[in-house]
Amino acid sequence: MDEEKPRRKFHPVYLLLALPFIADLWPPFYNRISPELFGIPFFYWWQTLWIVLAALCILPAYLNEVRRGK
């Protein structure tokens, strides 16, 4: 683990926070109807799914900060 590293050092766990931005800010990828899920076009379920995934992307960074007592 990285407890010995200096406090200001960038931890790779923060890279996860970039994922929601990549997933949500490139419409050429998700601006389509298929594959549908329960009759819901891809455009809609993909972006809705990422609400939950984004929260999960924050969790490791949060746990990391709690562990370091920040």
Handedness of CA 32, 34, 39, 44 (dihedral sign): negative
Residues 6+ apart with CB under 8 A from 22: none
Distance CA 70, CA 40 (A): 42
Enumerate residues 18-57 that contact other proteins by CB under 8 A: 20-21, 24-25, 27-28, 31-33, 36, 38-41, 43-44, 47-48, 50-52, 54-55, 57
The phi, psi pair for 40, rounded to 5°, reads -95, 125
**Least distance from other proteins to the Cβ atom of residue 4, Å:** 19
- Which stretches of the chain bind other proteins, using CB under 8 A? 17, 20-21, 24-25, 27-28, 31-33, 36, 38-41, 43-44, 47-48, 50-52, 54-55, 57-59, 61-62, 65-66, 70
